[in-house]
Homo-oligomer: A and B are copies of this chain.
Amino acid sequence: MIQVVILGFGNVGSHLLDAFQATSAIEVVQVYSRSLPTSNEHERVSFIQDLSEVKKADVYLVAVPDDAIPEVTTQLPFKNRLVAHTSGGATIEAINEHQRRAVFYPLQSFSKHTAVDYRSVPICIEAEHKDDEQLLQKVGSSISDKVVGVSSEDRAQLHLAAVYVNNFVNHLYHISEGILAEKNLDFDLLKPLILETARKVQYITPSEAQTGPALRNDANTIKKHVALLEDEELKELYAFFTKAIQQ
């Protein structure tokens, strides 16, 4: 059984805890969190609020905001242990240099109160030492079917691409919700289309999946759409995407 301590109990930390608790390969020794959880659904785990109380474990997984990684890993009361952060955006060097540094990045967007099928979540790992990488491979495989070695440089690129398909896509959902709200139309009507759009690119490329007025060079519809938009920024965004799709 591999012993793990989770440092940080936000979206990433809490979903990691849930995933580890569902497997017998991992023992979560402790979870560090500045505030203790109010619900008692995690009563099987020992929570600590003070880093000086942290126990011995095989791996320390740091699930705190990017800019807190240096501070938290500097406060750890030990040296030369395997400490992996879980961030897509931070380099491996964000971890204090007195530890055996590593990364354990689950490439998924976690929200409170929404369950995730962790087995489908790719976990990107990186480690300074070969045997640490092998251990992280084991930890990752216990909860996911896809564990891949990814350098800090490649991970930054992945994280950038992830922002487009997650945060920016979600903002387009938000925009269209607003377009419907103006006419008191129900956003529910778009939900099957949203799901299908995501599902299509699971097995065909985005280029193959593309449809719509821009691709068809349907100038009439494009003109009508731009006329319907009242917001200048939305008009510009519409023009940008239309041109980009046509290229």
Residues of A within 8 A of B (CB): 11, 65-67, 89, 107-111, 114, 116, 120-122, 124, 146, 148, 153-154, 156-177, 179-180, 182-183, 185, 187-216, 218, 220-221, 224-225, 228-229, 233, 237-238, 240-241, 244-245
In the complex, A121→B154 CA distance in Å?
39
**Given that A156-B224, A165-B172, A166-B197 are known contacts, is A107 also in contact with B190, CB under 8 Å in the complex?**
yes
Partner of A193, one of B109, B173, B218: B109
Partner of A165, one of B154, B173, B238: B173
Q: Which residue of B lies closest to A207 (CB)?
A: B174
Q: Which residue of B lies closest to A212 (CB)?
A: B167
Contact B157 A182 (CB under 8 A): yes
**Given that A202-B191, A207-B174, A241-B171 are known contacts, is A197 also in contact with B164, CB under 8 Å in the complex?**
no
> How many identical chains are in the complex?
2
Contact A109 B221 (CB under 8 A): no
Assuming A65-B218, A109-B200, what are 7 further A-B pairs, CB within 8 angstroms?
A111-B208, A122-B189, A154-B183, A157-B183, A170-B201, A171-B244, A173-B206
Contacts of A202 in B (CB 8 A): 191, 194-195
Contact B66 A221 (CB under 8 A): yes
A153 to chain B, nearest CB (A): 8
The 4 closest A-B pairs by CB, nearest first: A198-B198, A167-B212, A161-B176, A174-B206
Q: Which residue of B lies closest to A166 (CB)?
A: B197
Contact B174 A161 (CB under 8 A): no
Contacts of A174 in B (CB 8 A): 206-207, 210
